[in-house]
Amino acid sequence: PDAAAYRLASDCLGKLKAPVYFCTGNHDDGRMMREMLPAAPSVPLIPDQDRLTYRIDLPDFKIYVLDGRIPEEEGPHGRLLDSELAAFRSELSAWDGEYAVFLHFPPLAVGSRWIDRHLLLSNGESLHQAMIEADPARNRGVFFGHLHRGLQIYRDGLLYTAVSSPACQFSVGPDDDTVAFDSRCPIAFNHVTFRPGVTMVKEFTSLPAE
C-alpha cells in the first residue's frame, strides 16, 4: 500500500458528485483506506479498524461490503474472519429485505484451474451457504473483482458477477495451470442498477488512447 496513491485516489474520487465507497483488495491496507479515502456514511459490522466490513443503508435495500484481505505473505487468496461471517449472518437474520454483497475475492470456483487453486476466497462456500439459508430470492447479487476479468456465475439462485480490470486481464482457460497477462484490454467498468426484484449490470468499455 502506498500513501501517495491513496492521496491521489482521494483527490480524484473526492470530485465525484455521488457517494463513494471502497472495498479492500489484496494490495490494500484497510486502516490507511479508512483514514485517507473520502468514504460516504456507513455502518461498521465489526469493531476491527483494520478491516473495511460495513453496511450501506438505502431505502428498503442494504449493501454489505466485506473484507477478505489476508497478509500478502500468505498468498493471493482471501478469507473472511469468523467474526465477519457471524456478523453477516446476524445481519441477514435481523433484516428480511433485499440486499447485495460487494467484496474483492471471488467466493466460488470459476472453472479455471490456476484461479480456483490460488485466487478464491477460501471460505467462500460458507458465505454462499449463509445467503442460501437467508433465502436466495432476497439477494440481488454478489459483486467481486481480483480476477482482472469480467464473468458471471449463477448458482443456487444467486448471481455472482465480476468486473474487469483497466490494467490487464488474466487468462481464465479451464486447463490453465499458470497465469497469462494481456495488457491490450479495454478500460472497463460496470454500471449496476437495483430495482425491486431486478438486478441490471451494464459493462462499459473503451480502448486506451494510443
CATH class of 3-206: alpha beta
- pTM of model > 0.85: yes
Is the per-residue pLDDT at 186 higher than 90? no
Query: Tens digits of per-residue pLDDT, 128-171?
Result: 999 999 999 999 999 999 887 888 999 999 999 999 887 777 76
- Collapsed DSSP state (helix, strand, coil) of residue 31: helix
pLDDT for the residue numbered 173: 65
- Collapsed DSSP state (helix, strand, coil) of residue 22: coil
Going from N- to C-terminal start, the domains of the chain cover: 3-206
The CA distance from 183 to 73, in Å, is 26
Query: Tens digits of per-residue pLDDT, 101-115?
Result: 999 999 999 988 888
Q: In what order do the strands lie in the sheet with 139-144?
A: 43-44, 54-58, 61-65, 98-102, 139-144, 158-162, 151-155
Is the per-residue pLDDT at 175 higher than 80? no
DSSP state of 165: -
pLDDT for the residue numbered 178: 75
